[in-house]
Structure 1
Amino acid sequence: MAVIFKWLLRIVSGLLVVMGLAASLIYYFASRSLPDYDKDLQTGFVTAPVEIVRNNANVPHIFGARDEDVFFGLGYAHAQDRLWQMVTMRRTAQGRLSEVFGTQTVEIDRLIRRLDIYPLSVQSVDALSDHTRAMMSAYANGVNARINEVNSEALGRGAPEMFLFNAPIAPWRVADSLSIQRVMALQLAGHLEEEVLRARISLLIPDETRLSDIMPDFPGAGIAALPEYSAMVPGTKRYVEAAPRAHHPLSPFKPRGMAGASNAWAAATNRSASGGTLMANDPHLELSAPAIWYLARMELSKGGVIGGTIPGIPAVLTGRSDRLGWGLTSAYLDDQDVLIEELNPANPNQYRTPNGFKEFRTRSSIINIKDAEPITLTLRWSDNGPILEGNQFDLKTVTPKGHVAALSWTSLSPRDTSMDAAIGLMYADDVRSAIAAAEKYIAPAQNLTLADRENIAMKTVGANPRRAALHQSKGRMPSLGWRPENRWQGRLPYASNPEFIAPIGGIIGNTNNKVIDRAFPLHMSFTWGDSQRVHRWERLMQGRQVHTRDSFIEAQLDTVSFTARSLLPLVAADLWFTGESAPDGTPERQRQRALALLAEWNGEMNEHLPEPLIYSAWMRALQTRLIKDELGPLEVEFTHVEPLFIERVFRDVDGAGAWCDVIQSAAVESCSDVARLALDDAIIWIEEKYGRNLESLRWGDAHQATHDHQVLGEVSLLKAFVNIRQSTSGGDNTLQRGKTIGKGPDPFLNSHAAAYRGVYDFADPDSSVFIISTGQSGHFLSRYYDDMAQLWRRGEYVPMSLDEDLARAAAVGVTRLLP
């Protein structure tokens, strides 16, 4: 026995030594790619030394003799900290993810190839101004300087992920940056899926009034009635099952309801306590680790600019100079249309046009797949745009036999000059010159909020398609592609885009709400991103005569739900404080306890409170009960509560109370009956997941922010190191937006929020502040991988200063790039 024990001890000890050596070796190779921020590097690309001064938040302050050299420094800094993120986004844009990740990303590559993202970006390079091309070329040289350094000095392949997913890194090109900008447009686009879902519901529920209940027209006049889809597109079936769609973390195609969002607002000098203009911006995107945003300061010939950049794109997209601040919110302009093309029965390579049948434009494209045989696609285009596959965006459910679907989308222009506008904004002196620079912006459509030292403004930027007044669906559902009235007729002039300069009230802003009410076809959209947050924003803005930097921060971090305050009195009107007190331990008593808690609640979605969880679970269960019998299998498409729908039902607008009655039952259920049953459903779900003690529930336990690594986040041995999870306040409809995931066993996880926040005061610009949701580095062994995460969670910020002396005084390193 002693001998056996001795040998077991030796074996275990040996295994531990081997494991320790292996771990040390892994750490050594992974840590080789950690950037050295304090060094001199001979590059040969610059005309004079470039300095990258990293302040104590690891924000690079870049100084150079020429603007090209400064853009070179930005490219180098991006590649130092986010090389893996950049090359992965480039692969996404090229439709080449499967070369590295195998079969799991084939569907992403197929769709990207159909859209022709990268070839269109290559074509767009020639459309850019000479100045923009020069700056972008310098930026690309900066990225390549880092890639050359990694290769020549064996710096761990540039990122730890490169060891697990090894693939050659091609030199960076100008077109790569343009393609990443188009990938961002994909993430912000949502009208295509809205069109398809509206058509699918129309096939199930021909009553246009009931269709408007579940996919309501946003409040305001000028809404056009919809045709019945089956009458507009004959041959479609009442219900066709959609293929299950798994959302891969690398996919730029976001689930419905998860397209871009944001907040931005500004105050004029007469509404500012400091006497200078104020501005705030917090763009909302899917959370990830690292965050999509990267903070940088660039000292250009016209002065310094500082703010949020996206690695791979050579521009400060939201931020400020010493004269101007700019911010972005998704405009929800309707820039996508699905056109149904009829195939020639005698020749499927032809499609019907107003002038007869015509050949598709075609091209072959090969997708190489790791550990699998390659796939050859035949890409097709009609006059209306690329032809998509039936299983993409559920298009087969609304496409009759013998037809295919084409996509018209402004982002598919071969002469996209959006980068001219992005770089031009950095050189603008004031509101007027910024609006002029933004005329070249094409897609994705944005509301550009501006503040210079005297004025504030907001301008919708992006191409607005010109549709015919007789368009069959007004762009709200797929329509017949061969009918001339359904085809785009160019685009509306930039001057027609909504514009608000120096408003009389002294306050301007946008929460993705409806900004203008114009009749079709001069409208912007029938679908908007917010009908709720804007009401809370109005109250906070009008609640003060003058504002300060701190009051703007308070508004950014506000977690009071206007939606909860509006819906609870409607839904619970017949349930609150009715009936006798029930015995402890009974379902009736649990219901009474839940209602008592909600009766005292002010609607604040605070992470430490139980009421937000009870309310959210109740509304989710209520909507499920309301729509399940009418929509059947389409019920799963509504992953988030639709506040306008529930309000219409409980106010019985145009007979919407009919949704409360269960069609399959003999009895006639009232809305109060359904509300009570839904509350019981919610309590059962809560008890199974969190326990019976309702008073001890915490919203933050359910509403954890999911800053997950897009590739390593699901690897069991690594996810504890690379994922960042945090208890958070806010919700789907609060100004501090924390959009829930909406499905699965944890439907209230916070997956979509403000990964960048910035607040600027032009009375004292260096008192401006910003924050991002994780950290500057994409290297999970870096101290800067998650150092801002807790600040972000607590609602704290770091200074946004253009003072060179302050940056140098707090420097954690200075990199000198030499000729």
Structure 2
Amino acid sequence: MRVLKKIILAFLAIVVIMLIGGWIYYTSMQPNYSGNIKLHKLQKETTTYFDDYGIPHIYAENKLDAYTMLGYVHAQDRLWQMELMRRIAPGKLSEIFGKDMLENDKFFTTLGIDEVSEKAINNLDKNSETYKIAEAYANGVNQFIDNGATPIEFTLIGIEKQAYTIKDMYNILGYMSFSFAMAQKTDPLLSSIKEKLGNAYLKDLNIDVNPNTLLIKNSKQQVEEFEQLSAQVTRIINKSPIPAFIGSNSWVVSANKTSTGNVLFANDPHIGFSQPGVWYEAHLSATNYEMYGYHIAGVPFPLLGHNREYAYGLTMFENDDLDFYKEENHPTDSTKYKTANGYKKYSTITKTIKVKDANAVTLTVKNTSHGPIINNLIETVNQQEPISMFWVYTHFNSKLLTALNYISGAKKMADVKKGASLIHAPGLNIMYGDAKGNVAWWAAGKLYKQKPHVNRKFILNGVSGEDDVVKYLNFSENPMAENPTWNYVYSANNQPDSIANMLYPGYYLPEDRAKRIVELIEQKNNWSRKDFSTMINDVTSSVSPSIVKKIVLALKNEQLNNTEKEVLEILKKWDGSNTTEQIAPTIYHKWVYLYLKNTFEDELGEQLFTQIVNTHLFKRVIADHINKENSIWWDNVKTFDKKETKNNILVKSFKESVVALQNQLGKTFENWKWGNVHTVEHSHPLGTVESLKPYFNVGPFASKGTREVINNRGFEYNNSGLYTIKSGPSTRRIVDFSDIENSISILPTGQSGNPFSKHYKDQAEMFNKGEFRKMRLNKNEIIKVSTKLTALPKNE
């Protein structure tokens, strides 16, 4: 009995020790939101108040101290995210994840972002404010790396922390720039369709076609190569552990259209959902400087921000700044390629990619005047017929850090415009409003002209010189509007008007969101913050009801069974809104997918259809194509004894939708609610491991919204009948210059990327419900709801 008692006591002691050890480990891994710390190179005592949502409000006597502190607190909440972000562009993901990420590393290494970053640093004035702030921020990050807790992700994967550099900042911005581009996925697909089907099929999709655009000869092999090229790029973007930028909304209304006589500003950039989310909020206050900003991991200057004087935000321009060129090797010397001025020698650079648990891989990148040869990235592409990638980003010195410093440190509207003019890539719409009543937007990006015959949506002729850039436009020729007479500016990634007497080639999204935004703004001249908060959560499509009318018309003379009649009645009564309780959106999106499949897959084939159906291009096709009575696409080329019409396809798709939904969700309509099939889960890179998913992922949640409504949700169409959300608003911000201290915002999950923090997912439910919280600027109010972390200068 005594022995048993001793065993029990020993067991209890072990349990207690384990619990104490676990508690100590747990508390040691949490971000430090209170107390005192000492930091090198800090000039004066600096105080940070972490509010009730974990957002740091940093008060310093000078900007450099404020940014040193920002680097430290940003790192303690997001060091793992910084680590991933800085590894993508230079091709260092395989070093921690192994062979699975080798494809990504080869691709990004080939792009040359790392070399652009190196040049940008060499050209950056070391005495400039931009450099000094970047250095101060990196100093803060590195002091956390040296002295702070090691994030659990580093421990689980088994990697060492490494010093953070200014070059990492440029590489992060370079990756961000590439993730904006759409041409890398779309151009090869369109070239494939042209070679496979001919110009008539493209013409019917409203794609301007010029047969002189391409050097390529018809061949089944090349069609497959282009499909593989696009599939490769899509796969790389999808595998990236950091989400891509997708689209965005913003609108700013002048004093003449608000109830208070002050400017109202709204912005919700659309980015792939992830955990942690992309933005880190921070409020910095120093002598002659204040900014409440939204920062991406590893970059000191906020991409979105506001203070008491002005607000700025961004949307994606969607301009085309990336082209593919078909090159031609010298017939006997593979080190040379043909140009309009004779043969030139490829420039080459050899790089080594470290791979976890495997041998390092050596990669030799060949470059032409257009850009790198990408054939060696894709085994199925003919190595004897080189394809190069021209990307504006790598052809100019990057001034992105300087531009962001101008914008976030502006004293007047002209400073923001100056910052916008320094951005050559990515293409951005910089949205602006201020306390003086100004509203504006500027399209930032280096736009360029080619000869009239060139269509950038296809792979171009790299040999003749006829398809090359002939002129880069001055920033003054970019789309823009300053204090327009109609009293508002907006952007929803749609096609801008021309200033330079040309259309700006791009991969613009359809008019759906733009149409809804304009429709709502035009209705009234007494907008309030509350009205904006309702509008930014709007889930009604202005376009879908018009498409439903086409379905109803097609079914007019059809014999329908009772279930089909009931389904049709649901669609007839639908106003185009997409809430979780509605049934019509489930019916509508199943029909859209089957309409696309029945219309386009027979000609394109399964692989090409799967790739192109989820591009921006096909988002634009739906509403336009359904109005065409005699489209070449309506006929199913596989039914040789029959020629299908538009009505045949619309009716077939409707009837198949009813059957598919019954098979998927049952015969009870109550089970067809949109929230049952439209869900979001914010995934952490380690959440792919099933046992870790509950600890790192956030969700899933049933979600309102859909594709191309203001409360935009991105998902892929496929056979499953499930609409798993991949992207959406990365924040919703409303800045009210009549009551700046009560401006509002929300994040999709939480401020911290540390799973041990109470702010890891404390905004998730609010976000999903469309709710908001304050962006606090009032110091007294901040202190009341905050913990306090004081940084003191540390003797060197």
Distance in 2 (CA, whole Å) between partners of 1:251 and 1:47 is 43
Residues 1:499 and 2:483 are matched in the alignment: no
**1:741 aligns with one of 697, 713, 716:** 716
CA contact 2:263–2:433 (8 Å) conserved in 1: yes
Residues 1:674 and 2:655 are matched in the alignment: no
Distance in 2 (CA, whole Å) between partners of 1:643 and 1:416 is 32
1:109 counterpart residue number:
105
1:355 counterpart residue number:
341
User: Residues 334-345 of structure 1 correspond to what in structure 2 (within 5 A)?
Assistant: 334-345=320-331
After superposing the two structures, state which structure 1 stretch, 502-511 or 543-552, moved more: 543-552
User: Residues 283-302 of structure 1 correspond to what in structure 2 (within 5 A)?
Assistant: 283-302=269-288
- In the TM superposition, what is the alpha-carbon distance from 1:161 to its structure 2 partner? 0.7
Distance in 1 (CA, whole Å) between partners of 2:722 and 2:620 is 20
2:621 counterpart residue number:
645
**2:224 aligns with one of 226, 240, 246:** 240
**2:144 aligns with one of 143, 146, 157:** 146
For residue 672 of structure 2, what is the amino acid of its counterpart?
Answer: L
2:569 counterpart residue number:
596
**1:463 aligns with one of 446, 453, 471:** 446
CA contact 2:749–2:763 (8 Å) conserved in 1: yes
Distance in 1 (CA, whole Å) between partners of 2:368 and 2:153 is 40
CA contact 2:291–2:305 (8 Å) conserved in 1: yes
2:120 counterpart residue number:
124
Distance in 1 (CA, whole Å) between partners of 2:594 and 2:500 is 37
Spell out, residue by residue over 1:583-638, the C-alpha distance to the aligned partner (whole angstroms, 9 max, x if none).
xxxxx332222111111111111111111111111111111000111112321113
User: Residues 530-609 of structure 1 correspond to what in structure 2 (within 5 A)?
Assistant: 530-575=510-555, 588-609=561-582
Change in 2 beyond 3 A, CA 1:184/1:70: same
Counterpart secondary structure, 1:275: coil
Residues 1:199 and 2:180 are matched in the alignment: no
1:262 counterpart residue number:
248
Spell out, residue by residue over 1:412-466, the C-alpha distance to the aligned partner (whole angstroms, 9 max, x if none).
24620011111111121332221122221121110111001221011001211x3
CA contact 2:634–2:644 (8 Å) conserved in 1: no
For residue 617 of structure 1, what is the amino acid of its counterpart?
Answer: K
1:220 counterpart residue number:
none
Distance in 2 (CA, whole Å) between partners of 1:744 and 1:650 is 21
Change in 2 beyond 3 A, CA 1:251/1:177: farther
CA contact 1:204–1:239 (8 Å) conserved in 2: yes
CA contact 1:271–1:506 (8 Å) conserved in 2: yes
2:610 counterpart residue number:
636
For residue 79 of structure 1, what is the amino acid of its counterpart?
Answer: A
Distance in 1 (CA, whole Å) between partners of 2:633 and 2:716 is 29
2:92 counterpart residue number:
96
Distance in 1 (CA, whole Å) between partners of 2:30 and 2:625 is 56
Counterpart secondary structure, 2:36: strand
**2:695 aligns with one of 701, 705, 721:** 721
CA contact 1:738–1:752 (8 Å) conserved in 2: yes
Distance in 2 (CA, whole Å) between partners of 1:17 and 1:346 is 79
Counterpart secondary structure, 1:482: coil
- In the TM superposition, what is the alpha-carbon distance from 1:529 to its structure 2 partner? 2.3
**1:35 aligns with one of 20, 25, 31:** 31
After superposing the two structures, state which structure 1 stretch, 103-112 or 561-570, moved more: 561-570
- In the TM superposition, what is the alpha-carbon distance from 1:793 to its structure 2 partner? 0.7
Distance in 2 (CA, whole Å) between partners of 1:405 and 1:14 is 70
Spell out, residue by residue over 1:632-661, the C-alpha distance to the aligned partner (whole angstroms, 9 max, x if none).
2321113439354334443226x3265244
1:479 counterpart residue number:
460
1:424 counterpart residue number:
406
Distance in 2 (CA, whole Å) between partners of 1:60 and 1:817 is 17
User: Residues 789-804 of structure 1 correspond to what in structure 2 (within 5 A)?
Assistant: 789-804=764-779
Spell out, residue by residue over 1:330-383, the C-alpha distance to the aligned partner (whole angstroms, 9 max, x if none).
001111111111111201111111221111111211111111111111111111
1:585 counterpart residue number:
none
Distance in 1 (CA, whole Å) between partners of 2:10 and 2:325 is 66
Counterpart secondary structure, 1:429: coil
- In the TM superposition, what is the alpha-carbon distance from 1:43 to its structure 2 partner? 1.5
Counterpart secondary structure, 2:472: coil
Distance in 2 (CA, whole Å) between partners of 1:675 and 1:28 is 63
TM-score (norm 2): 0.92
CA contact 1:213–1:645 (8 Å) conserved in 2: no
CA contact 2:339–2:463 (8 Å) conserved in 1: yes
CA contact 1:49–1:64 (8 Å) conserved in 2: yes
CA contact 1:318–1:326 (8 Å) conserved in 2: yes
CA contact 1:308–1:756 (8 Å) conserved in 2: no
Distance in 1 (CA, whole Å) between partners of 2:195 and 2:584 is 38
Distance in 1 (CA, whole Å) between partners of 2:336 and 2:722 is 45
Distance in 1 (CA, whole Å) between partners of 2:395 and 2:245 is 21
Residues 1:78 and 2:83 are matched in the alignment: no
Change in 2 beyond 3 A, CA 1:364/1:26: farther
CA contact 2:451–2:470 (8 Å) conserved in 1: no
2:211 counterpart residue number:
227
1:452 counterpart residue number:
434
- In the TM superposition, what is the alpha-carbon distance from 1:74 to its structure 2 partner? 1.2
For residue 646 of structure 1, what is the amino acid of its counterpart?
Answer: I
CA contact 2:396–2:424 (8 Å) conserved in 1: no
Q: How many residues are treated as equivalent by the alignment?
A: 779
Spell out, residue by residue over 1:204-233, the C-alpha distance to the aligned partner (whole angstroms, 9 max, x if none).
22134x21434x35xxxxxx5432666655
CA contact 1:202–1:228 (8 Å) conserved in 2: no
Distance in 1 (CA, whole Å) between partners of 2:626 and 2:172 is 44
CA contact 2:543–2:623 (8 Å) conserved in 1: no
CA contact 1:127–1:417 (8 Å) conserved in 2: no
Counterpart secondary structure, 2:75: helix
Distance in 2 (CA, whole Å) between partners of 1:500 and 1:792 is 32
Residues 1:56 and 2:38 are matched in the alignment: no
Spell out, residue by residue over 1:94-135, the C-alpha distance to the aligned partner (whole angstroms, 9 max, x if none).
211111111110001001110122232122113334111111
Distance in 2 (CA, whole Å) between partners of 1:58 and 1:193 is 38
Spell out, residue by residue over 1:377-429, the C-alpha distance to the aligned partner (whole angstroms, 9 max, x if none).
1111111111113655x993xxx663211111122246200111111111213
- In the TM superposition, what is the alpha-carbon distance from 1:249 to its structure 2 partner? 7.9
After superposing the two structures, state which structure 1 stretch, 643-652 or 35-44, moved more: 643-652
For residue 504 of structure 1, what is the amino acid of its counterpart?
Answer: T
Distance in 2 (CA, whole Å) between partners of 1:420 and 1:230 is 39
- In the TM superposition, what is the alpha-carbon distance from 1:25 to its structure 2 partner? 5.9
Change in 2 beyond 3 A, CA 1:17/1:261: farther
For residue 555 of structure 1, what is the amino acid of its counterpart?
Answer: M
- In the TM superposition, what is the alpha-carbon distance from 1:739 to its structure 2 partner? 0.9
Change in 2 beyond 3 A, CA 1:229/1:271: same
2:155 counterpart residue number:
163
CA contact 1:264–1:328 (8 Å) conserved in 2: yes
User: Residues 367-406 of structure 1 correspond to what in structure 2 (within 5 A)?
Assistant: 367-389=353-375, 392=378, 396=381, 402-406=384-388
- In the TM superposition, what is the alpha-carbon distance from 1:235 to its structure 2 partner? 6.5
Change in 2 beyond 3 A, CA 1:30/1:88: farther
For residue 196 of structure 2, what is the amino acid of its counterpart?
Answer: L
5+ long unaligned stretches in structure 1: 1-6, 218-223, 583-587
**Identity across matched positions, percent:** 24
Distance in 1 (CA, whole Å) between partners of 2:634 and 2:785 is 61
Spell out, residue by residue over 1:554-602, the C-alpha distance to the aligned partner (whole angstroms, 9 max, x if none).
22100001231121101231325x567x7xxxxx332222111111111
Residues 1:442 and 2:410 are matched in the alignment: no
Distance in 2 (CA, whole Å) between partners of 1:678 and 1:12 is 68
TM-score (norm 1): 0.90
